[in-house]
Amino acid sequence: MSEAGVPRVGVLDVVAFACEIAMLVLLAGAGWSLANSTVVQVVLATLLPVAAAVLWGVTMAPKSSRRLHNPARLFAQTALFAVTGVLVAVAGHPWWGLVFAVVATATFAARSRTPE
């Protein structure tokens, strides 16, 4: 904590937050690209990021009463990043999926080694 009781935000925290937002955006884009019907595109583009956000909020968010402890939390985060990467790859952007999964996993693995 800093002097005024406000938690310090480091570079890894900023990159981690960017990865969380990128995951939601990539899931919406993948959901849209995975279907041919506009109705299904809208449903998938909405459902995938909402499902990820709910899962994240319940089991991984810092203020969650059901937050997983490491290493289980890191495993769950890595699984979610891998699923996102696979869906993005299947949607036609394999390099985006791979880069996202590697960067997000590496970022959260590095963060898990720092004290909370």
Cα–Cα distance between 15 and 113 in angstroms, integer? Answer: 15
Nearest to 24 by CA among 95, 67, 80: 80
Q: pLDDT of 9-67, one tens digit each?
A: 889 999 999 999 999 999 999 999 999 999 999 999 999 999 999 999 999 998 999 99
pTM more than 0.85: yes
Contact 73, 57 (CB under 8 A): no
Q: pLDDT of 81-94, one tens digit each?
A: 999 999 999 999 99
> Between residues 62 and 4, which one has the greater pLDDT?
62
